[in-house]
Structure 1
Amino acid sequence: MSLPHQYPVCELLIRELVARRKLHLCEALKVVKQREAAEDVLQNTALKCMIKPPSQAPSNLKCYISKMVRNASIDYLRKHKRELPTDFDDEAVTGWAEITPICGRVHLEDKQTLCEVIKALCAQSARKQDIFLRCRLKDERQKDIAAELGLSPARINGVVKQVEGACNAAIACTEM
């Protein structure tokens, strides 16, 4: 398939990949042995063609793309051999493997909850933030903070409880 060189190199490579898609899919399938994995390999190859094409068009596009697909297939296998195949629904298996079953949705929800806690903390005065963070994160004793700021330990405890309540309220709002 000879195309005029008026096209950018990445476009020539993508055209070749699409024109002989079934052939390249079969090449990937020989290596990775799964249809979904072979599709992933082709997508990764297309991305590589678009992101980092060679400076000049290869003389034989078909061979060049075939080699890219084969290399991407081998990379795919290497990457997935290192992964531990686990049924994440089985808590006994995840406990044995010391893996936490976190999916994207749970990760996003945790991030949103953290953002709400940060907003609640930022809504407090700078002094209250300082007291709370020193007690809860830096593990400083309340009586030491009280002595430094000229407040009673009871007042420090009250501030910590007030800020903690605001953070807990923010967490409760995200769980609804």
Structure 2
Amino acid sequence: MTKQPDKTTRRALLEELMTHRKMHLCQALKVVGSFDAAEDVLQNTAVKCLSSKEIARPEKMRSYLSKMVRNAALDYIRKHRNEISEPFEDESKLATAGMDDRCGFRALESKQTLAQAMDAIATFPQRSQDTFLRHRVGGEPQNKIAQDLSVSCTLVNFMIRDIEAACIKSAA
């Protein structure tokens, strides 16, 4: 037998949450492991109580609310799982926090670095450029490149080294 929706169910849930706040806070704390996070869970639960549709008043209000708090704590953990939990001692960690290959800033930075490297490569003679690209991008062995160009392996090594140094210098 289902009960009819009670207009005061939201208020009763909120009163239960406030009356037994410490118990619900401890329950959330066990799941999330942080006092601040547990407070956030209780706040989210209170908002959910206020903004939910009117439901039939549960027979066991405390059990019902305990399940709400537990589910909200699990949702909180799922949502915040990928956040960095360690404090930042220096700005270098802060600068890289949350950035991955999909990050727009990281992609722009990579594109600019590549453009600088290409500009540095363009300052060298065409033969040196071809040698560098064949070896570093194409993966060809230096001795094969030297044989194709009819030069010594040492010269090929110097061409590659000079362009690589210029690329590193342009990126710095």
TM-score between both structures, scaled by the size of structure 1: 0.48
Larger Rg: 2
TM-score between both structures, scaled by the size of structure 2: 0.49
